[in-house]
Amino acid sequence: MTSAWPNLSDLLVPADAETPVGLIGAPLGAGSVTPGRCDLAPSALRAVLRRIGTYDIDTGQELGTLVADHGDIMLGDKSIEEATAPIRSAVRGSAQRHALTLLIGGNNAVTRPGLLGLADALELEIAEVGLVTLDAHFDMRRLEQGLSNGNPVRALREDGLPGANIVQIGLAPFANAPGMHRDAIAGGHLVVTLRDLLEQGTIEVLEAAMERLQHCRAIMVDCDIDVIDRSQFPAAPGARPGGMLAQEFFAAARWLAAQPSVRLIDLTEWDPTLDPTDLSALTAGRWLAEVLAGFASRA
């Protein structure tokens, strides 16, 4: 039974429901460069959904897409290496059933098993999958010390993901190392800094991204929420002042979710304990509304 005031929590249905969208919680906290409690984010997102309405006043449309909630993967204190297989398996199962899967981290290390699971589900080679990151960071730290939330893009490159399949948007000044930048450019990534985004425009950048990835048969979008200006999302450990404005982030999430080739979107790097207010939670909830609005426009 729906509530008197329709809200996003009304759209969550049991995992066995036949729906176009699936949601998986991946509460991975291990391996974070900055220790925190990103593992609390999936439950925090579900809790805030009752405060996010379903009516979009800008379009005059009511959100009605049901979302099969597959619950949280039981990760406990597993390392990234130990968590990779269960996350990959969960994404594979969801992507086989749903046109769009939402993977709620957890830290950014969930991105790699997510993309691998998407390739498994669609029986694709990794070279046939594209990756768009909305992220202040390259996530190209070296692998010698093992997997972390700072190197999922580097790890995917090692797995065989071509640099030409990677678009990185929102990279922040004074938050990245020059070696990572050089490696990304040399590897063929399309790199869009925050300044580029401001000068070129959000939608124009996204159109260029999709043109770059038109050779890919499926695309994953990594929404590392630390791309948002820290004053608008204080619960992201890696966020910096002067980041992407929340309204630009929302516009990007909606536009990307509207693309039929986008089959998997993650949300990562939200540590609810860092924000004693409800600002960050409401921003994350709005992200989900924007994604569902974008997905609904595919029809």
Query: What string of DSSP letters covers 232-271?
Result: T-TT-TT--TT-B-HHHHHHHHHHHHT-TTEEEEEEE---
Residue 197 CB-half CA count within 13 A: 27
107: in domain = yes
Residue-wise pLDDT tens digits, 50-62: 999 999 999 999 9
181: in domain = yes
Q: Is the pLDDT of residue 12 over 90?
A: yes
pLDDT tier, 43 (very low <50, low <70, confident <90, very high otherwise): very high
Give whole-number Cα distances, 261 to 5, 44, 127, 264, 268, in Å.
33, 29, 15, 9, 21
Residue-wise pLDDT tens digits, 215-243: 999 999 999 999 999 999 999 999 999 99
19: in domain = yes
153: in domain = yes
151: in domain = yes
Is there a contact between 212 and 271 (Cβ–Cβ < 8 Å)?
no
Share of the chain above pLDDT 90, in %: 96
> DSSP H helical segments within 5-161, as ranges?
41-48, 80-97, 111-122, 152-159
Q: Looking at residue 104, which CATH number applies to its domain?
A: 3.40.800.10
Q: Is the pLDDT of residue 131 over 80?
A: yes
Amino acid 3: pLDDT: 59
- Give the chain's domain count: 1
* Strand 262-268 relative to strand 100-105, pairing: parallel
Amino acid 141: pLDDT: 96
2: in domain = no
Amino acid 77: pLDDT: 92
Q: Is the pLDDT of residue 105 over 70?
A: yes
Domain of 246 in residue numbering reads as 8-296
1: in domain = no
3: in domain = no
Q: Is the pLDDT of residue 119 over 90?
A: yes
Q: Is the pLDDT of residue 2 over 70?
A: no
Amino acid 179: pLDDT: 96
Q: Is the pLDDT of residue 299 over 80?
A: no
